[in-house]
Chains A and B, each alone.
Chain A
């Protein structure tokens, strides 16, 4: 049974399409200076935001791998 459309296709769509919202969002908030990279606290928030994206991607990746195993 081909499980691609049930596993990695939704994964790539989720993080591909999600990236089209997420990264322009990061760009926009830095460009508008609402996230000001000159402030230490905001630099920490930038790391947290990036970590969040990777965290969910890793979580889904691991769950898919475990299910297909």
Chain B
């Protein structure tokens, strides 16, 4: 396979360096708005849908990168980016299930939801799985970045007379250091604004490359006619080849991937949580999936399609043997002039960095929220601390966590770098790590009867059955293969997602359906005097069975029996040791009780009367609790009552909510067009004196 080095000119490198400096300055400018952990992680829940939509582009396009889709585009044609058009099926669940729950329940991370909805032990297991998922995702991001930049780098550099080879891993380490520095000092507001800029630039650069390529080939009809029919089709061949087939990728991406992306990608969820309201989050999701993703599909895959067309007419310019993961860089260097190539590469690498930044930021949020805080609370339960000091301490921990996660992300590359393409590495990763969490979240949100016993057994038993499936794919995954041939080197990279999802659902449904039987089982042990010690003994035996299946030093039958043993007994053990009040645990935390969630969020009954928006200017008054005060007439126009929630933002729409606050209506006054508020609200809202503000009732 043909690989490249030293692609690009000095001009291109200068353009790239300038681009990075501009982006970092842009991010740093908005980084100054980071005043607390809430700002660092969630951007203060203030932004408009359009700003979030565009900022998601860089995250989505970056993570489903130019590199991997161009590679598959070069190998298989337009179907390479089919996964950009298959996310809609789970949107109803997301918009009207998961999104309102995470916003109204005020959870800061997915594991925190698991604690509220189930138990601390469920949170612990969810944290482990989610960290594995996020660090793996960061590893994929670094791998892609390395593969994108490697063709531009020389084979070796001379440092003080010593020639140092530039390898993939060395390039990745340098990239990781740059990425880590940026995110450590920026935070979510900086990332959102950097991504906003890059979202626009990415789409622009991608389309520019596409149109330059079409012109290079002599027009669209020439390009279209050069492609074989199978390359023009938008969906892949149903079940072959094993490295790229429709049905496997449907289960890996349209099902596990889409739910994973919408429901458990902490980075993406934090973007939606940064929206000013749930409805704005819905708009951001709808516009992004319906319109931006189809455009992105062209942007990310087109270099591969163009590369294929060029290789058909001029195999001497682009050899059909070109390494697929390098095709984007090769095509871009051939069809663009020096400087423009640098710009395209800068846009690509900066977008990838954005994705990685977002993920590092999100993983740091999990570390602070789900590891650091619980440990601090456990060690010093009575600790009294001023809020601002606590915030400063947590911000410091968040920054340290960002550095640690960046290092782990680099190590994770080792697990993926031997896959033939980034696409397959990503597919394998998604199929393997998403099903248990996806199934647990889904059942937790939509099934009230799903208990801690159900979720913990899904995690433990589901993972065991998945591991056994991976060890013996010809026996366990083959029945679901839809005729896909098994590649012994990487068996069922994609369709394994179907098997993994089914076993996790199966475990969850089994435990929930058998709930009453397990309750009786628990009652028996609780009624016995020696019940507790018997249960501890049983736990040890189940632990042994778990280890037997996990480490696989036994026959297949023993492993299967051990896993079944775990699935049958864990619900009883969890039922015995974990106290669970279904009424309390499900209130406001499932889609069946969203009204209750809103009441809990607000702290009082919901006022659903539709009111107008009003224009006001602010006047400062003595500091009060988080309230702002309007005139009687303005309150009537907004159909608001004292105690309702209000959103106040700068009138300039292009700011996208950067200067805004959420607050509560306080007692009324008589000055129409004026809002009274304390210094803290003015500072948090970043309001400028004399500027017109728009007030609207939130709920």
| Chain A residues within CB distance 8 Å of chain B | 1, 3, 5-7, 9-11, 13-14, 17-19, 21-22, 25-26, 28-29, 32-35, 39, 41, 45, 48-49, 52-53, 55-56, 59-60, 63-64, 66-68
B458 within 8 A of A: no
Q: When the two chains form their complex, are residues B90 and A21 in contact, meaning their CB atoms are under 8 A apart?
A: yes
CA distance A35 to B88 in the complex (A): 17
Q: Which residues in window 213-251 of B have CB below 8 A to A?
A: 229-230, 232-239, 246-247, 250
Tell which of B29-37, B91-99, B136-144 binds the partner. Answer: B91-99
Within the complex, what minimum Cβ distance (angstroms) separates B644 from chain A?
18
Q: When the two chains form their complex, are residues B279 and A41 in contact, meaning their CB atoms are under 8 A apart?
A: yes
Q: When the two chains form their complex, are residues A56 and B92 in contact, meaning their CB atoms are under 8 A apart?
A: no
CB within 8 Å for A29 and B230 given contacts A7-B235, A10-B236, A21-B90:
no
Q: When the two chains form their complex, are residues B89 and A22 in contact, meaning their CB atoms are under 8 A apart?
A: yes
CB within 8 Å for A45 and B95 given contacts A52-B290, A56-B88, A59-B294:
yes
Within the complex, what minimum Cβ distance (angstroms) separates A27 from chain B?
9
CB within 8 Å for A60 and B234 given contacts A21-B90, A28-B446, A35-B92:
yes
Q: Which residues in window 246-260 of B have CB below 8 A to A?
A: 246-247, 250, 254-255
Residue ID in chain A nearest B99 by CB atoms = A34
Q: When the two chains form their complex, are residues A55 and B290 in contact, meaning their CB atoms are under 8 A apart?
A: yes
CB within 8 Å for A3 and B93 given contacts A28-B591, A56-B88:
no
CA distance A6 to B594 in the complex (A): 43
Within the complex, what minimum Cβ distance (angstroms) separates A39 from chain B?
8
Q: Which residues in window 80-118 of B have CB below 8 A to A?
A: 85-86, 88-93, 95-97, 100
Q: When the two chains form their complex, are residues B233 and A56 in contact, meaning their CB atoms are under 8 A apart?
A: no
Q: When the two chains form their complex, are residues B236 and A13 in contact, meaning their CB atoms are under 8 A apart?
A: no
Within the complex, what minimum Cβ distance (angstroms) separates A18 from chain B?
4
B289 within 8 A of A: yes
With a 10 A CB-CB cut-off, give which of A1, A25, A41 has the most chain B CB atoms: A25
Q: When the two chains form their complex, are residues B229 and A68 in contact, meaning their CB atoms are under 8 A apart?
A: yes
Within the complex, what minimum Cβ distance (angstroms) separates A5 from chain B?
4
CA distance A28 to B93 in the complex (A): 8
B282 within 8 A of A: yes
Closest 9 CB pairs of A and B: A67-B232, A10-B235, A25-B92, A10-B246, A63-B234, A29-B96, A34-B96, A18-B89, A5-B238
CA distance A29 to B230 in the complex (A): 39
Q: Given A14-B250, A60-B85, 11 other A-B contacts at CB below 8 A?
A: A5-B237, A7-B235, A10-B236, A22-B90, A32-B446, A32-B591, A34-B96, A52-B88, A59-B294, A64-B233, A68-B233
CA distance A19 to B97 in the complex (A): 18
Q: When the two chains form their complex, are residues A49 and B254 in contact, meaning their CB atoms are under 8 A apart?
A: no
Q: When the two chains form their complex, are residues B233 and A6 in contact, meaning their CB atoms are under 8 A apart?
A: yes
Q: When the two chains form their complex, are residues A67 and B591 in contact, meaning their CB atoms are under 8 A apart?
A: no
Q: When the two chains form their complex, are residues B88 and A67 in contact, meaning their CB atoms are under 8 A apart?
A: no
Q: When the two chains form their complex, are residues A52 and B286 in contact, meaning their CB atoms are under 8 A apart?
A: yes
Q: When the two chains form their complex, are residues A66 and B232 in contact, meaning their CB atoms are under 8 A apart?
A: yes
CB within 8 Å for A14 and B594 given contacts A67-B234, A68-B229:
no
CA distance A42 to B232 in the complex (A): 38
Q: When the two chains form their complex, are residues B92 and A29 in contact, meaning their CB atoms are under 8 A apart?
A: yes
B595 within 8 A of A: yes
Q: Which residues of A contact B286 (CB under 8 A)?
A: 48, 52
B592 within 8 A of A: yes
Q: When the two chains form their complex, are residues A29 and B294 in contact, meaning their CB atoms are under 8 A apart?
A: no
CA distance A17 to B594 in the complex (A): 28
Q: When the two chains form their complex, are residues B250 and A13 in contact, meaning their CB atoms are under 8 A apart?
A: yes
Within the complex, what minimum Cβ distance (angstroms) separates A59 from chain B?
7
| Chain B residues within CB distance 8 Å of chain A | 78, 85-86, 88-93, 95-97, 100, 229-230, 232-239, 246-247, 250, 254-255, 279, 282, 286, 289-290, 294, 446, 590-592, 594-595, 608
- Which one of A18, A19, A55, A64 lies within 8 Å of B235 (CB-CB)? A64
Q: When the two chains form their complex, are residues A10 and B238 in contact, meaning their CB atoms are under 8 A apart?
A: yes
Q: Which residues of A contact B247 (CB under 8 A)?
A: 10, 13
Residue ID in chain B nearest A19 by CB atoms = B89
CA distance A29 to B282 in the complex (A): 14
Q: When the two chains form their complex, are residues A49 and B230 in contact, meaning their CB atoms are under 8 A apart?
A: no
Q: Which residues of B contact A26 (CB under 8 A)?
A: 92
CA distance A56 to B294 in the complex (A): 9
Residue ID in chain B nearest A8 by CB atoms = B235
- Which one of B254, B289, B591 lies within 8 Å of A18 (CB-CB)? B254
Q: When the two chains form their complex, are residues A34 and B235 in contact, meaning their CB atoms are under 8 A apart?
A: no
Within the complex, what minimum Cβ distance (angstroms) separates A68 from chain B?
7
Q: Which residues of A contact B88 (CB under 8 A)?
A: 18, 22, 52-53, 56
Q: When the two chains form their complex, are residues A49 and B250 in contact, meaning their CB atoms are under 8 A apart?
A: no
Q: When the two chains form their complex, are residues B289 and A52 in contact, meaning their CB atoms are under 8 A apart?
A: yes
- Which one of B91, B235, B237, B592 lies within 8 Å of A49 (CB-CB)? B91
- Which one of A3, A52, A60 lies within 8 Å of B91 (CB-CB)? A52
Within the complex, what minimum Cβ distance (angstroms) separates B590 from chain A?
8
Q: When the two chains form their complex, are residues B96 and A21 in contact, meaning their CB atoms are under 8 A apart?
A: no
With a 10 A CB-CB cut-off, give which of A1, A17, A28 has the most chain B CB atoms: A28
CA distance A48 to B287 in the complex (A): 10
CA distance A10 to B245 in the complex (A): 10
- Which one of A14, A32, A41 lies within 8 Å of B592 (CB-CB)? A32
Within the complex, what minimum Cβ distance (angstroms) separates A11 from chain B?
6
Q: When the two chains form their complex, are residues B230 and A3 in contact, meaning their CB atoms are under 8 A apart?
A: yes
CB within 8 Å for A45 and B592 given contacts A21-B89, A60-B235:
no
Within the complex, what minimum Cβ distance (angstroms) separates B326 from chain A?
27
CA distance A60 to B688 in the complex (A): 49
Q: When the two chains form their complex, are residues B594 and A34 in contact, meaning their CB atoms are under 8 A apart?
A: yes
CA distance A11 to B233 in the complex (A): 11
- Which one of B229, B289, B294, B446 lies within 8 Å of A3 (CB-CB)? B229
Residue ID in chain B nearest A29 by CB atoms = B96
Within the complex, what minimum Cβ distance (angstroms) separates A48 from chain B?
6
Q: When the two chains form their complex, are residues A29 and B93 in contact, meaning their CB atoms are under 8 A apart?
A: yes
Within the complex, what minimum Cβ distance (angstroms) separates B613 from chain A?
15
